[in-house]
Chains A and B, each alone.
Chain A
Amino acid sequence: MKDWRYWLAEQRSALLAVGIFIFMFIIYVSNHQAGFSANVVQTSANKGVLLALVAMAQTLVVITAGIDLSAGMIFVLTNCLASWLVVGTAAETAFGVAVVLGTGLLCGAINGAIVIVGRMQPIVATIATGAVYFGLALLLRPFPGGSVNEDLADALTGRLFGVVPTSLVALVAVVLIIWVPFRRSVTGRAAYAAGSSEIAAYMSGMPIKRAKFVAYTLSGLLAAIGGLFLTFFTYTGEAAYASGNAYTLFSIAAVVLGGVSLFGGRGSAIGAIFGAFAFRTIGDLLFVFDFDPLWQPLFQGVVLLFAVSLVAFGLFRVRNRLEWFG
């Protein structure tokens, strides 16, 4: 019985995100003209999954007390790449998918190497690499276009047994294949430890550098999976600067809503996924209430501002003002 309470305490912020999401989603579907239909769920799922994947990517880095401002750009770059490569026969498609995912891994690894080996601040380093990744995306797709293996795309964005959105199933698979092993590995634990107290982690002899590098690399991979799905949804590739920036921004909002601490060491990708879905639903709520969609960016911005301000609550516990300065 007691174990259950500790589990609850640990997952409290993630569960809060689940709660917000369910609450918002109920309001959303009950006001939607179409109601709770498989179609509505499928559309919501597909939009949510994209942000959820980028938010997972962000989570991995944030846990180590870093930040990845290039996540949205990796997402855009892999989208453009996929619009060239994920076409043709099954073998060609598979090869394309592999190259796209490999590119994501490489982008993440470059970020990690610059931050860890180059000892550069993650913010500036990832802004700079983000510019490079966006530039590459623009080289690949100066104009929107391209195509994708539509069979695969439809299979992954449709419904399983006519009810369950396939994209959700894919998301669960990603969680099981990437997140769970990471969370349970020594490396994953070292990533948490490095974010929580790097000195204590060092004193305990944990593999901090390796953990950070793996976190950045997997983050690139997750963003690439997101880019792949974007291609499946849109059938095209587009080097959209605004969209890349928005995904980076929203991924931070989703991570905060999902209970991941921006100071590192706390939170899970599961929380971030629900944070992403909650954030998406909040944005869509305006839509069902017939607000002008023009208000959506402002509304999302205010939610983001509010979410990051929550960070400040810990401040009231500080008894020694010198702790402000780290």
Chain B
Amino acid sequence: MPEVPQNAAYMVAAYVVAAVILLLYTVTLWLRGQKPPRFPPPPPAARPPRS
């Protein structure tokens, strides 16, 4: 009966890589979804006084 291959390191690496990719994308979406602060529109430019 052949021995079971000892390659658990590859399995762990794949699981870590997948988790990192999914978490990074989650954080990216989270940051992109934050609404930017809304500043009031700038006041209209003041007209020069009539002479």
Q: Do A and B bind each other?
A: no
